[in-house]
Amino acid sequence: MSNSSDDRRWLALVLLCATQFIVVLDVSIVNVALPSIQASLDFDVRQLQWVASAYALTFGGFLLLGGRAADLLGRRRVFMAGLVLFAGASLACGLAPSSGFLIGSRAVQGLGAAIISPAALSILTTTFEEGAERNKALGIWGAIAGLGGAAGVLLGGILTDAVSWEWIFFINVPIALGCAALSPVLLKESRIDGMTRNFDVAGAVSVTGGLSLFVYALVGTDQHGWTSARTLGLFAVAIGLLIAFVAIESRASQPLLPLRLFRSGTVTGANVVGFLIGASIFSMFFFLSLYMQEVLGYSPLRTGFAYLLVAVTIIISAAASQVLVTRFGPRSVLATGMALLTLGLLWFTQVSVGGSYLVDLVPGFVLTGVGLGFSFVPDTIAALAGVRERDAGVASGLINTSQQIGGALGVAALVTVATTTTSDDLANAGIHAQQPLVQLSAATDGFQAAFLWCAVMAAIGIVATLVLVRPPAAAETAPVGEPALSAE
C-alpha cells in the first residue's frame, strides 16, 4: 500500500473520530447546562431528564436502522445525510422557544446521530483490516468516544457560563457541516451488493416506541406508583412492542437486527456490558452535575472544569488499553475496566453536603476515568469481533444502541430512585422539610442512592464480561458465504 493511500486512511479516521466526538459530546454536554435550561424554559424537574433522554432514545432506537441504511444505500452517502440532519436539529435546539420544542428537537438530533454513528464505525471497520491495525484505529475511536462524554460536561460548563446554554447546540453546526464537506475528499463509498433494499421500518418503530414507553412509564412511577393501572398498562404496552420487535426480526427476510449476530457469545456479552456501561455512566454524569451545582454550589464553568481530570484520565487509559487488548485480548482488559468503574462509583456513594473536590470527587474521577478508558475500547472491539463485512453497519449500530438505550433507561430508573429517596427524607423531616440544609441533605441522600445502583450495574458488568465474553482463541466468527462489499 502506498504512503499516500495510508495517509488518507488515517486522515479519514481523524474525520470519523471528529464526528463521533460531537455525537457522544451531545449525550453529556447538556448535563452541566440543565439548571440553566430549567430556569430559561421553565422545565418541571421531572421533565428535565427528557432533555437527555429524548436524544438517547432516538439515538439508540434508530441506530440499527441507520446501520442497515448505511450498508445498503452507501456508507459515505448516509454518513453525510446524517451530518446535515444533525446540524439542522442542533440549530433548532439552540433556537428552541419552549421546553416541548427543545425536547422534540433533541429527538430529531438523536435521529441524526443514529444515522452518523453506525455509518462512521462501519466505514472504519471496512477501511482497516481486522487485527492490530484495526485495534489501533478502534483504540483511537474508543478514546475519542470516551473523551467526548467527559469533554461534553467540560465544554458545556464553559459555554453555558461564558455565553449561554444555547451555544452548547450552536457549536455543532459548523463542525457537522465542515465534516460533511470533507467527506467526499477523504472517504471512499462502500455498500453491500446483491441485497434487496428492505429497511425494516416496522422493526425500528416497534423497538423505539417500546423503549420510549418504557422510559415514560419509569419516569411516572414516583407520581403514580409502581402498581397503578397507568404504570402497569404502559409497561405492558412497552413490553408488547418489544416482543413484537423480536417477532418481526425473526421473520423478516432482511431484518433490522439479524438474530444470527447473537450466535457469538462474545458479541452478545459485549452488548450486555455496553448496556450496563451506558446505564451507569450516563447516570453518573447526570447526578454528579446536579450534585456539584445544587449541593456544592459550583457554577457551570467550575462544574465543567471539575470534569477535566476525568477527560485526561480517559485519554491516557484508553491509549494504554488498545495496546493491552492486542496483547491479552478484550476479556481481561474489559473485566479490569468494569472493576475500576465499580470502585469509582462506590466512592461517589459517600458524597456529602459539605463535600470537597479533593476528598469527595477526585478519587472517584480517577477510578471511573481509568475504568472507562479500559472499558470502551475492549467492549467495542469485542462487539465487532469476527463480524462479517456485510454486517459491519448493523453490528456497529448494535453496540451503540446498547450503550445509548442503557443510558436512557438507567437515567430514567435512577431519577426515580433519587427523587423517591429525597421525597421520603423530606416527608420524614416533617416541619423541618423547608429548611435549606434539610433539603440539601435529602437531595444528597437521593444522589447517594443513585450512585449505589450505578455501582451495582457496573458490578453486574464484571460478571457478564467473565461469563459471556470469550478469550481470543475461543471467540466465534460470524457465518461465512455472505455478500461482499463493493468499494467505489
* pLDDT tens sequence across 234-281: 999 999 998 998 898 888 777 777 777 777 778 888 999 999 999 998
What is the Cα–Cα distance from 280 to 455, expressed in whole angstroms? Answer: 7
Burial category of 22 from C-beta neighbours within 10 Å (exposed 0-12, middle 13-18, buried 19 and up)? buried
In sequence order, what are the residues at sequence separation of 6 or more whose Cβ sits closer than 8 angstroms to the Cβ of residue 196? 253, 254
List the CATH code of the domain at 3-185+256-473: 1.20.1250.20
Per-residue pLDDT, 154: 79
Query: Alpha helix locations (H) across 74-199?
Result: 75-94, 99-127, 132-162, 167-170, 172-186
Cell 462512521, residue located? 120
pLDDT confidence of 193, banded at 50, 70, 90?
low
417, 449 in Cβ contact below 8 A? yes
3-class DSSP state of 228:
coil
CB atoms near residue 73 (< 10 Å):
16
3-class DSSP state of 477:
coil
Task: Indicate if the pLDDT at residue 327 is higher than 80.
Answer: yes
Domain ranges within the chain, ordered by starting residue: 3-185+256-473, 200-254
* pLDDT tens sequence across 94-151: 999 998 899 999 999 999 998 998 888 878 877 877 677 777 887 787 777 766 766 7
Whole-model pTM: value is 0.80
Per-residue pLDDT, 409: 86
Looking at the chain, how many residues does it have? 488
Cell of 137: 484505529
What is the Cα–Cα distance from 448 to 453, expressed in whole angstroms? Answer: 9
Phi-psi region of 258 (alpha: psi -120 to 50; beta: other; left: phi over 0): beta
